[in-house]
Amino acid sequence: MNKYIDFSDEVRRALDDHKPVVAIETGGTFEGIPYPENAQTALNVMADVRKAGATPAYISIMDGRVKVGMTEEEVYAYAKMRGTMQKASRREIPQIIAQGKSGVMTIAATMVVADYVGIPVVSGGGIGGVHRGAEISMDISSDLEEIVERNVIVVCSGAKSILDLNLTMEYLETKAVSVIGYRTDELPAYMARSSGIKLTCRMDDVNTIAETYKIKNEFGIKTGMILANMIDEEYAVDSELMNRVINEAIENSQKDKVSGKAITGYLMKYIKEKMGSDSMEAQKHMIIQNAVLAAEVAGKICC
């Protein structure tokens, strides 16, 4: 195995015994939630994944080492570094390792590591996509490129509302990536339930989802799959309010001349400040909800 990767004892045993493991992105939990709530949220996620019958494997880079699975001590140490770590996508992984630094992993980076070590199910908040105005900026998240290349199922609450969701879906359709709605006919919009975009495939049970993944592999279809899991209604934010705040955030980002990799962080920070505690509670619930569903799917794939 790669000499730059460390496995937690728990994850190593599970992989050796062919037990279900869920790879979890660190970006949404550790960077998206303030300390110490981020640490407690991570521990809650890990506990709930175990209750659902799988082993949790938060994927991170700490001091130049890729961590597949984290101990409680590592969770707190990593959580305290919030705001100081570099955001790692595929491109940044070798750079951060070579410099002996720490990085917070996007869904794209999590897919890279999960696919490499043989973990078929990845859990995250919302997948990246085609940014608004991409016809000029050509700004397309590497999450989309990785899902085309990686043989994983990504369980998420659709794509982030700050994106051009129609173009994101067109990109995925062009690349033949399955987007499956879990008990929904509509693409979720991250912390909001409604996007107005209808999905072509809905599945209501994890057995069918796992079987779809297995059949895909039998035919040698290497593209990944997206399992879109709508946030529970009691925690969801209002779609109309969310869109108004997003439009404000975009206008402000243009005034402040924010672009490139910085735009996502800028917009998400603005939205959370405007939406207040409701958005934070929605994010925490969404992260746990998706991880539990990912654990259930992972368990069926291992059967």
Q: Which of 25, 31, 92, 296 is catalytic?
A: 25
How far is residue 161's CA from residue 166's CA, in Å, rounded to a whole number?
Answer: 11
* 160 is annotated as an active-site residue: yes
Q: Which residue has the tokens 């006919």?
A: 185
| ω into 36 cis (within 30 of 0) | yes
Block residue for tokens 């990504």: 154
- What value does the CA radius of gyration of the chain take, rounded to a whole number of Å? 18
Task: Judge whether 37 counts as a catalytic residue.
Answer: no
In the set 31, 92, 160, 284, the catalytic residue is 160
Task: List the one residue out of 213, 183, 180, 181 whose CA is nearest residue 299.
Answer: 213
Task: Point out the residues that are catalytic.
Answer: 25, 160
